[in-house]
Amino acid sequence: MHTKTVRIAQLSFQTNNERMQTRDEKKAQTRKSLMDAALALTGNGSNFSSISLREVAKNAGVVPTSFYRHFTDMEELGLNIIDDLGLMLRRLMRTARQSEGYFDALARSSVEFYANYVCANKNYFFFMEQVKTGGTPVLRKAIRKELKYFANELVLDVRPLKAFAEINDADLDILCQLIVDTVFENTIDLLDQLEENPDYIDTYTEHTLKKLRLIWLGAMAWRS
Amino acid sequence: MHTKTVRIAQLSFQTNNERMQTRDEKKAQTRKSLMDAALALTGNGSNFSSISLREVAKNAGVVPTSFYRHFTDMEELGLNIIDDLGLMLRRLMRTARQSEGYFDALARSSVEFYANYVCANKNYFFFMEQVKTGGTPVLRKAIRKELKYFANELVLDVRPLKAFAEINDADLDILCQLIVDTVFENTIDLLDQLEENPDYIDTYTEHTLKKLRLIWLGAMAWRS
DNA sequence: CCTTTCAGTCAACACTTGTACACTAATAAT
DNA sequence: ATTATTAGTGTACAAGTGTTGACTGAAAGG
């Protein structure tokens, strides 16, 4: 009855708050709810591999059996989160590239930007750090693939720089992997400390910056 | 009956295989069984925070309730494993220090030694990598404390080196943390790949070595 | 020798877990 | 308008979970 009214409303004009939704839209929505619920739980101290299907369903406001309409498994849920995470990282990369001073990787602003991005996507990074070493082998592999992509993109960006002319391709791969690892490595510290000590973001930025500068110095002196 | 025989045996002479055990010895033994069981499970693909008390007890050949005679919690078990892990790391450090060419951190032999040590203590390192980012906050903190100790020891070793004369204490701390992180970072890769591809140990060694040399170059050029 | 201590056992509990199955109601397709 | 599809519900069950309390038997202490 009520829905019928809404339906008419949709046909005539779009109501924003309680707008009509197609079946696919609604499905996509609860699917997102499930993924968000899982992310929220991991971001709240639980370990992804120890949270239950039922817990996720409950937090998503859905009955447990409904979970199966979207994922066969918690692992599949995890893989889908990793897909989203990949998108997020690409967005990060794209935004960073557009910013001025990007090619000055040693600029404080770059690291600061990353740190803020982490804070803005706390749950994703929590999930990532957690699953990177603590997830099932399948999930670990998936995460590492994303990180590898990240490192490869970095290679493309710095390959043309004449400062690195003396570094061959294989070594440049390793260098970029080192850079990426260094940035991501202490992200978990940042996330942990952040809750009780918001100023830690400065410490993190400063420390990471020094490490990157040191690596940079090494790279300039490197002869393959 | 049978035990009485053994008891007499102990009084007269020590039998090695089925020797008499004091109550404390036996307790320490099953305690170790529990810890080993947990380590074995984590080393076998399970996540520490998702293995159950009962599972551990079963694998240790002990009834679940017996667990409580040793630990109140799985988390306490974890903390005790971390204590052992700390000992293991100290042993690693000590042995490394005694070896010649230790102060030539860029020697292939050093990294190779570490890699072999990892393989020999597979479960411990698996546990460490897993809990470092995936454990409960308490466990994470405990692991990081151990790693910090490791880095601090490294500081003591390299502080006297004249190559680092230009680096002040604060920066040297950061440098050593970077070195330690770099070594530990890809240990999980080593552990993962090892099973299917035993030659990966060479790849790991070579890559890590290059990273360390690069950092080294950077450190030599560094002016605080 | 007798008594105390205590690591390990056994049985039972109240829950939570993943999953199967039948069902509903609203959307999509005809 | 009728039918088919399907996201989400409800019920049910077997298996596993952490924890309790009372019990046992051998070692430790007197």
The residue behind tokens 């940079």 is: A216
Q: The domain containing residue B167 runs over which residues?
A: 79-221
Domain termination residue (choose one: A46, A72, A98): A72
pLDDT at A18 over 90: no
Q: Which of residues 57-116 of B touch strand C (CB under 7 A)?
A: 62-66, 69-70
B221 in contact with A, Cβ within 8 Å: yes
Is residue B2's beta carbon less than 7 angstroms from any atom in nucleic acid strand C?
Answer: no
CA nearest to B125 within chain A = A133
**Same domain, yes or no, for A68 and A79?**
no
What is the tens place of the pLDDT at every residue in A76-98? 999 999 999 999 999 999 999 98
**Same domain, yes or no, for A35 and A124?**
no
Q: How confident is the model at residue A102 (pLDDT cuts 50, 70, 90)?
A: confident
**Same domain, yes or no, for B104 and B195?**
yes
What is the tens place of the pLDDT at every residue in A108-125? 999 999 999 999 999 999
| Whole-number Å distance between alpha carbons of A85 and A81 | 6
Q: How far is CA A177 from CA A150, A183, A189, in A?
A: 9, 10, 20
Amino acid at A185: E
Average pLDDT over residues A181-199: 93
Nearest of B148, B144, B94, B85 to residue B118 by alpha carbon? B85
Determine the pLDDT at residue A122: 97
Nearest of A130, A102, A128 to residue A114 by alpha carbon? A102
Is residue B197 assigned to a domain? yes
**Same domain, yes or no, for B58 and B167?**
no
**Same domain, yes or no, for A106 and A153?**
yes
Domain termination residue (choose one: A72, A88, A113): A72
> What integer best gives the mean pLDDT of chain A?
90
Determine the pLDDT at residue B27: 98
Question: Which residues of chain B fall short of a pLDDT of 50?
Answer: 1-18
Alpha-helical segments (H) within chain B: 2-12, 23-43, 53-59, 74-98, 108-120, 122-134, 137-158, 169-185, 187-196, 200-221
Helix (H) or strand (E) holding A210: helix A200-221
C-alpha angle A181-B96-B186 in degrees, rounded to nearest 5:
20
Determine the pLDDT at residue A195: 87
Higher pLDDT, A15 or B70: B70
Q: Domains in chain A: how many in total?
A: 2
Strands annotated E in chain A: none
**Same domain, yes or no, for B84 and B191?**
yes
Closest nucleotide to B54, Cα to C1': D17
pLDDT at A11 over 70: no
Neighbours of A137 (CB within 10 A): 10
Q: How confident is the model at residue A105 (pLDDT cuts 50, 70, 90)?
A: low
Q: What angle, 0 to 180 degrees and rounded to 10, lies between the N-to-C axes of helices B200-221 and A200-221? A: 100
Helix (H) or strand (E) holding B223: none
Q: How confident is the model at residue A99 (pLDDT cuts 50, 70, 90)?
A: confident
**Same domain, yes or no, for A131 and A203?**
yes
Gyration radius from chain A CA atoms: 21
Indicate if ipTM > 0.85.
yes
**Same domain, yes or no, for B66 and B170?**
no
% residues pLDDT > 90 (chain A): 83
Q: How confident is the model at residue A1 (pLDDT cuts 50, 70, 90)?
A: very low
**Same domain, yes or no, for A83 and A188?**
yes
Determine the pLDDT at residue B81: 98
**Same domain, yes or no, for A84 and A129?**
yes
Within 8 A by CB and 6+ apart from A132, the residues are A140, A143, A144, A147, B133, B188
Kindly report the CATH number assigned to the domain that includes residue A27. 1.10.10.60
Is residue A9 assigned to a domain? no
* Minimal CA separation from A80 to chain B, in Å: 19
**Same domain, yes or no, for B145 and B40?**
no
**Same domain, yes or no, for B214 and B105?**
yes
Determine the pLDDT at residue B194: 92
Determine the pLDDT at residue A2: 35
**Cβ(A167)–Cβ(A224) below 8 Å:** yes
Amino acid at B102: Y
Is residue A29 assigned to a domain? yes
Identify the three-state secondary structure at position B101: coil
Is residue A192 assigned to a domain? yes
HSE-CB at B110 with a 13 A cutoff on CA atoms is: 19
| Whole-number Å distance between alpha carbons of A90 and A98 | 12
Kindly report the CATH number assigned to the domain that includes residue B160. 1.10.357.10
- What the block records as the tokens of B68 is 């409580």
What is the tens place of the pLDDT at every residue in B5-61? 333 333 333 333 345 689 999 999 999 999 999 999 999 999 999 999 999 999 999
Please list every residue in chain A whose beta carbon sits closer than 8 Å to the beta carbon of residue B140.
Answer: 188, 192
**Cβ(A183)–Cβ(B150) below 8 Å:** no
